[in-house]
Amino acid sequence: MKAGFIGAGKVGFSLGKYLAKNGIDVTGYYSRSADSAIKASEFTGTRYYKDLTDIIEDSDTLFITAPDGAITEVWEYIRNLPIKNKNICHCSGSISSAAFFDAEKKGAFRYSIHPLYAFSDRYESYKDLRGAYFSIEGSKARLKEMTACFAQLGNTVVPIDQEAKALYHCAAVMASNHMIALADAAAEMLSSCGFDQESAVKALTPLMRGNISAIIASGPAAALTGPIERNDLNTVAEHLHALERADPQTAELYRFLSSRLIKIACDKHPNRDYTELKELLTDERKSLKGERQ
């Protein structure tokens, strides 16, 4: 593979460095921002391209690592350039390879190759990419070849259907971004109890870190503890009563997440009867009255 990058943000920097460091021939970078492309080329020890035609000519695989909103715009331009036999890729989690419409008619091959990984720093993120899973979908003709490229680096690569892209990305967002929302909601509750914001986050850190470690080591079911697993009606009723007075919207979030936890708990403890707990979570009147079971 001779990989060229169109776009020089965090993903372009990181993926290019990762590939180059692991023996893949990276030709260089082109970007609307010449400064970004120059810095990326210096960081990866590759070439800065002033012209799109040149990077296309020198590369057999092009990674369009521009922002999601610009991917189609870039394609609209390069589809009229000499791209026959080129692999055209993007790394968006939410957009499918269909963004490269009529690629096959142009004699090219289209792929969406997405690392399940949060790129937080353009100069540091590449260091942990070896442990990331990649999803891939696109042209069948070279799918095995493109998959093998990343698999040989030590990554697990999972082919998915184009139609599954939105659900796939939703899973990533829930595991990543929504964790932030939960942490923020929990910290806000502690702030209401007298913690300052910084102390609230620090106080919750061991709980969050411990849970993530347990999930990674043993899976969600084995990691589950707390009042839902224990079938503790009184505690859950207290939680709902407090939340509905303090923040009804968060109370609804608590209900939804707890209902999901009951499903996990039922699978984990098939002999326990969680019927009353399910009713408590679905019957708003019980918790509003502060009833005790």
What's the pLDDT tens digit per position in 196-230? 999 999 999 999 999 999 999 999 999 999 999 99
Residue 228, SS3 per DSSP: helix
User: Whole-angstrom distance between the N-terminal and C-terminal Cα of the chain?
Assistant: 65
Specify whether 184 is located in the same domain as 229.
yes
Specify whether 23 is located in the same domain as 149.
yes
In whole angstroms, what separates CA 117 from the centre of its chain?
A: 6
Torsion of CA 8, 12, 13, 14, to 10 degrees: 160
> Residue 287's pLDDT is what?
54
Q: What's the whole-model pTM score?
A: 0.85
**Final residue of a structural domain among 137, 160, 183:** 160
- Which range of residues forms the domain containing residue 237? 169-288
Closest CA relative to residue 2, chosen from 105, 96, 85, 124: 85
In whole angstroms, what separates CA 59 from the centre of its chain?
A: 28
pLDDT in tens, 225-270: 999 999 999 999 999 999 999 999 999 999 999 999 999 999 999 9
Q: Quick check: is 195 in a domain?
A: yes
Closest CA relative to residue 19, chosen from 3, 7, 38, 30: 3
CATH at 267 = 1.10.1040
- Distance, in Å, from the CA atom of 199 to the CA atom of 107, rounded to the nearest integer, reads 58
Specify whether 13 is located in the same domain as 154.
yes
**Final residue of a structural domain among 133, 160, 187:** 160
Give the total number of structural domains in the chain. 2
pLDDT in tens, 94-130: 999 999 999 999 999 999 999 999 999 999 999 999 9
pLDDT in tens, 135-159: 999 999 999 999 999 999 999 999 9
Closest CA relative to residue 133, chosen from 163, 155, 162, 102: 155
Are the beta carbons of 116 and 90 closer than 8 angstroms? no
E strands present in the chain? 2-6, 25-30, 47-48, 61-64, 87-90, 109-115, 133-138, 156-159
CATH at 67 = 3.40.50.720
Are the beta carbons of 78 and 106 closer than 8 angstroms? no
Are the beta carbons of 231 and 277 closer than 8 angstroms? yes
